[in-house]
Every structure is written in C-alpha cells, then in structure tokens.
Amino acid sequence: MMMTTGEELEVEFVLESIQDLPETIITNGAIVCREVACLEVHLDSKMKKKRFSENELTFTVKGSFEETQQVSVGHDSRSPLPDPTFFHYAKYKQPSLDVVLTKKRRLPSFCACVSCGARSSSVPLTVPLKSLPSEWEAVGEHRKFDLHLKVKKCQEDLDVRLGFDLCAQEQDFIRKRKKVVAAALKDILQLEEDLQEDEVPVVAIMTTGGGTRALTAMYAHLLSVQELNVLDCVSYITGLSGTTWTMSNLYEDPDWSQKDLKETLKDARKHVLKNKFLSCFAPDRLKYYLKELCQREQEGHQICFTDLWGLIIENMLHEKEDFHKLTDQQQALNQGQNPLPIYLSLNVKDKISDQDFREWVEFTPYEVGFPKYGAFIRAEDFGSDFFMGRLIKKIPESRICFLEGIWSSVFSLNLMDAWYISVQSEDFWHKWTRDKITDIDDETLFPARPNELDTRVVCPTDSFSSIFRDVVMLRPAASDIPNFLKGFQMNNNYLESEFSKWKDCELDSQPNHLTVATDHLILIDTAFAFATSYPPLMRPERKVDVILHFNYSSGSQTQPLKDASKYFAKQGIPFPIRVPDDQETPHLKECYIVGDKESSETPIVIFFPLVNDTFRYYKAPGVKRSPAEMAEGDVDVASTRGPYYINNLSYSEEDFDKLVNLSYYNIQNNKDLILQALRAAVERKKQHKKEQLQKPPSGDDTCVPDREGTKHLADCPELGNMK
C-alpha cells in the first residue's frame, strides 16, 4: 500500500500454483538456468516462382534467442531461410510460433492444415509450441507450402560454468605452481626444511593503469623482481589498461619468466621510442585496419571503435601482425612455469554512470567471467552467442590486440566519468540524469520480512533529463559484446548468495536491471572507476596471502590503495585498513608494508608508489652518485604534465632509460622489506595449519554446492519450487 496526500491506493497480489510437469533447474544460488527447447522449422515452397518472387515469410517466437527471422520466397530470393532454421527458447515461457506472409502481389490464400490439411485458414498463422508433439506438419504436401515443425530438447550440459570456485584448469595450475614457489621460497628465505603444499603462501603482483608509463615501469619492476629471485614466488599477475600491454607481450613466450628480461626490455624500448603517429597512421596501415575490420565483421563480430584502437595498439607494440590469442597463453602455464595472468575489465550500462553500475569481468587464458554472478565461459568462446547457458553460435576467437582494445579503452570515457575523475563528485550530474528513487519502507504499514528487497518508488526522468542524459552519458567507444548470461534468471534469494560479496551499487537490488536481462555487455577500461586490479585477487577462492602493489597511476600515489581499502571494507572483504596517505605524509618512501599487523585473513600488501626518493642520490643500493651523475637521478614522475603524462605514447631515449632505472632501483633498494613480508606470510601459513590441526572435527550433512558451486533442484530441496 502506498500513501499520498489525501489519497490511498491498495494493490492486492495473488500467488497461484501452476500445475505443470516438473522442470529441471540448475542454479549456483545467484542465477538460474532453466530447460531450453529448440524449434526446428523446415520450409518447402511449391509456388510458381515468377508469381511469388516478391513475397516474404516472417517467423517469430517471442522470447527466443533468435526472436524473428525472415525469408523471401520465390525466384528472386536473395536471403533464403536456412534449411532448417532454429529457434531456441525457454520451455517454461510456453511461446507460440507466429508466421506472417507479407504479400507484395496478389496471392492465393495462405493455407495451414494438419496432416495434409483438412482445414485451411488465412494468414497470419499462430502455432502454440506447447501443443506440438515431437514432429508436426503444419501444411500438407499438396498445398502451396510445406511447413514442418519439430520441437526437440536441447543439450543438458551447459557451456557456461556456474560456480564461484576456480575452474579445474586453474586449480591444477596452482598445484603445479606451488611446487615452483616452495622451492623459490626455501632458497631466498634460506629455510631449513621444504615447505608443504598447505604452507606455501599465494603471492601476487597487482598493477595499476598508466598507459606507456605503466608499460615501461612494469617491465623494469619485473626485471628487478626476477633478479631478486622473487618472480618464481609469484602465482598471479593482474593488470588493467597499460599494464595489459606488457602482460600480453610477455605471455607470447611460454617461458618468459625463466629468461633474462633484459632482452625483452630492449624490444619494448624500441617500440616506445618510435614515432607513433607516423607508424600507426601511414596509408598502408590505414588500409590494413580497414581490411582487418572487414574480415572481423565477416566472422560475425560486432565492430566498434575499440577494435580500431586494438589494431593501433598492435602496431604500436609490434613490428608486424600479431596472431596470438588469449588461449595461446595456456602454453605458458601448462607446467606452472609462469604466474597466471588475469586481465580486468568493467561491465557498465549505457547512459548510466559507472559509479551507479559496474561489474568486474576477469579474463584468464582459461576463462572469462563474472565473479559477481559466478558465471564463466571458456576464453575461446568470448564474443560468441549464448542463450540460457548454451553456446548458440560459435564465433572465431579474437586476436589478443582486440582484447587489448577493450582492456585499455581510454577513449570510452564519457562526460560524467570525466567530471567524476576531475572533481570526485557526481551530485550535480545525478540530479539531472538519474531516475528518482524513493525508499518507502518507513511508510509501509506492514513489517519487513527477512531477506526481502527494499520497497521503492522509481520516477523516470523527464524529457529534458533524458536528452541531457543522452548527451553526457554517450559511450561512443565502449565495446559491445554479446552477453553470455542472456536468458538466465536471478535466483529468488540471490542477495543471500556469493553475489552479495560484489554487490556495490543501487541497481544490484533491482533484478530486472542486472546483466542477465541485457543482450550485450558494455565493456570499458577499469581505470575509469577503479584505478587498481585488486578485485580478482580478493576472491576468497584464490586465497592470496601477499600482494606486491606496483603503482603507475598519475596524481596521488596513495589514492588507489586508499580507494581499494575503502571499497573492500564496504564489501566486507579482508583488506588492509591502515594504509599510507600522501596528504598526511607528502614525502613518500619507496616501499611500505601494510596489513602484516592485522588479522591473519588480511593479505599483506607490499606497496610500491612510483616516486623518486633515494634514487636522486644513489645509482644503486648503497652506492652514491658522483656530482657528474646527479642529473641521471633527476626523474620527474610526480608532475601530471611531465614527460610521463598519460596521453604521451612515445618517450625520448633519456626519459625511457630514467624511468626504467628508477623503477628497477626502487625494487632492489627494498629487497629486505620484500623478504620480510614473504617470511611473515610463511609464518602465518604455518600458524594457520597448526590451529587447524588443533580444531576438533565437525560433521555437516547439509546440502552444499558441488565442486563447481552448482546446485540442482533435485539435490537441494531448500531451493523451493521455482517457476
């Protein structure tokens, strides 16, 4: 009941039981997959071709994946209906097939009959699919049309993995990688005994965005970490924006971390120094871009600006066409020889700020998916068409450069995002572009029930606000990707599932506005909303113990870490609370350890801001500069308009070398702090193991998710009868 001044409106809802056949439902607690049927339509035309050359048949199954398909019948038909054609639909919706014949010339009446048609009718023809047996003939052979319909059950196995746990390939990788890590830790920490598998900490490298600055500094950081023999202790590397360029290049070599990275750095130097305008926009390059985009469209991909940007990135960082794909990077993981790379992107909504709606999408060589929904697909299937968890249309896997265009889509910035970044406030924009939402729970006469959604009144924006929203919220360069969650439904109790760990915006409480209700994903650079790539590492399933935070962002060096701390505190995910602040301490040190004094569930973060501190006076740890060498220590990484500003894609030789030397030195000069954090992590793991052994065993016979985190209705009756 809703109360207004002097008026009262009463609304009554009645819940009725549906008497129908039982349905198999698969759910992970957040989203629900239901049974899918496939309608097969086979059409034969016996009409005289000349008389019927301009007629068109339209087939529609509302709510199906295909929705509507058309066929021109007759002699001049240029787009014949595939024989047969298919419609995939959810069985519970009980749709109908609508057939309409568009007449452009005088035609005999369109007849429909059953089994050689004792009965006829004129267009349109509507056939309830629920009433169809396994095979049904709608038009007899002696009529003008032969229309054969067949309904069959789709495959039961899903092509979308529903579960919040790690995929089998990643779990196998971690087992292999822990052997490498255990040996490396024993060596650098000078341990007397070998570490057992449950005593090996999971160490990760987390990077921030920063364009060419991030690309360059990350190479230097990895080289320095490698020479300290710490790189073999790392199990994950996460990146966004510019650091994905470094990662993609490295993983073209299956053994990159076992080779001297100085040679790799030399190759990167060559590409950073070259003139990007001349190399990227020469006439032959423009012809190449056009050819590649045309071929990509022919393969079935939807072309957008980030595809062009990806080709430009390819030209910036390579001498020739790069044929590598994300799945090729599996070769760099098959023996656990390198850390597992995780690339991060952000799913947003058109005409809605990414502060109001955003969802993390992670890419690994094995899978692409949403930690929030517990839904993942094979990496090679990204960009293909899915419906209700089934792969409907396979599209060739994209080359890695097109993914780089998504991960670093710096040109998808809209006006509201720019305003937010510049002033950290959206109050003005929200006033004019958001729907007005009023919480009326306090006004209701009925007590709130546990786990129910808040009651709200949503008032759409007026015409002026809609126009204003269209102007400021346009994302001309965001990637438009087929939604592999299409067709799924939200579980009735999704807010009580693992979904709640990543619930961070108002729209999360409105199921009809979530990603399962959309046809496409809108993917942008994560840096527009979150300057770090922490989220994949904070999944409890990965159990990350130590994180080396390499910061490459401009402006405040501590702000990305502070933002991450606030975000995860709000989400209830263990993360260091006491972090450095450059507003309180303007002169930042090269390295900080945070989280080591907090709870054992909190990861230890080794924070490396991009600063020029002791490097001004030392060319190597403990080696002072001579007066003639002081100029080499003058590296301006603080100024947003210095040589390393975000929009600068090319550096001079001097600027490149200075940034590399500074980044390399900052790691070398803080070796003791890195080893201190690793030693503390090992002690934590041993202490945790000791505590677990002292705990008495406890039995639990309740219904729990299986290994993939997926529940089946027949196995878990507490899910209820979902229709």
Q: How do residues 372-412 score in pLDDT, each as one tens digit? A: 999 999 999 999 999 999 999 999 999 999 999 999 987 54
Q: For 520-549, what is the mean pLDDT?
A: 94
pLDDT band at 98 (very low <50, low <70, confident <90, very high): confident
Which of 31-35, 59-63, 167-171, 693-697 has the highest average model confidence (pLDDT)?
Answer: 167-171
The tens digit of pLDDT for each residue in 285-303 reads 888 998 999 999 999 998 8
Q: For residue 662, give the amino acid letter.
A: L
The string of DSSP codes covering 178-235 is HHHHHHHHHHHTT-SSPPPGGGPPPEEEEEB--HHHHHHHHHHHHHHHHHTT-GGGEE
Alpha-carbon distance of 337 to 570, in angstroms, equals 36
> Could you tell me the pTM of the whole model?
0.84
| Under 8 Å between Cβ of 76 and 104 | no
What pLDDT sits at residue 103? 61
Q: Find out whether 407 and 244 touch, Cβ atoms under 8 Å.
A: yes
Q: What is the DSSP letter of 90?
A: E
What residues contact residue 117 under an 8 Å CB cut-off, 6+ apart? 111, 139, 140, 142, 143
Inter-CA distances, 333 with 171, 260, 342, 536, Å = 12, 18, 12, 18
Angle at which helix 243-250 crosses helix 400-407, to 10 degrees, equals: 160
Better-scored residue on pLDDT, 461 or 490: 490
Confidence of residue 115 (pLDDT cuts 50, 70, 90): very low
pLDDT value for 415: 41
Domains in the chain, ordered, with CATH? 36-153 (2.60.40), 201-238+532-696 (3.40.1090.10)
Report d(CA 655, CA 645) in Å as an integer: 12
Which residues have CB under 8 Å from 556's CB, separation 6+?
582, 583
Which tops the pLDDT comparison, 714 or 633?
A: 633
Question: What pLDDT score does 626 carry?
Answer: 95
Is-catalytic flag, 525? yes
Confidence band, pLDDT 50/70/90 cuts, at residue 121: very low
pLDDT over 60 (residue 281): yes
Give pLDDT tens digits for 623-641. 999 999 999 999 999 887 8
Parallel/antiparallel/unpaired status of strands 604-608 and 546-550 = parallel
**347 DSSP β-pair partners:** 359, 523
Strand locations in 353-421 (E):
359-363, 367-370, 375-378, 385-387, 390-393
470: its two tokens: 């269209």
Q: Are strands 96-102 and 145-153 parallel, antiparallel or unpaired?
A: unpaired
85 CB-contact burial (10 Å; exposed 0-12 / middle 13-18 / buried 19+): middle
Given the residues 525, 533, 553, 663, select the one marked as catalytic: 525
pLDDT confidence of 432, banded at 50, 70, 90? very low
User: Which residues are bridge partners to 456 per DSSP?
Assistant: 439
200: its two tokens? 């090996």
From the candidates 45, 72, 235, 241, give the one annotated as an active-site residue: 241
Is 241 one of the annotated active-site residues of the chain?
A: yes
Question: Which two three-digit tokens encode residue 368?
Answer: 């692409």
> Which residue spans within 309-374 are E strands per DSSP?
340-348, 359-363, 367-370
**Confidence grade of residue 353 (pLDDT, cut at 50, 70, 90):** confident
Q: Residue 430 in 3-state DSSP?
A: helix
Partners of 7 in the β-ladder: 4
- Helix/strand/coil for 284: helix
Could you tell me which residues come within 8 angstroms of residue 691 by beta carbon, excluding any fewer than 6 positions away?
A: none
Q: Which two tokens stand for residue 163?
A: 């579960």
Structure tokens at 340: 């597992």
Tens digit of pLDDT for each residue in 496-515? Answer: 999 999 999 889 999 999 99
CA distance 458 to 8: 18
Q: Which residues are paired to 102 by β-bridges?
A: 56
Answer yes or no: are the C-beta atoms of 685 and 198 closer than 8 Å.
yes
Residue 371 in this model has a pLDDT that exceeds 90: yes
Tens-place pLDDT, residues 204-233: 999 999 999 999 999 999 999 999 999 999
* CA 420 to chain centroid: 22
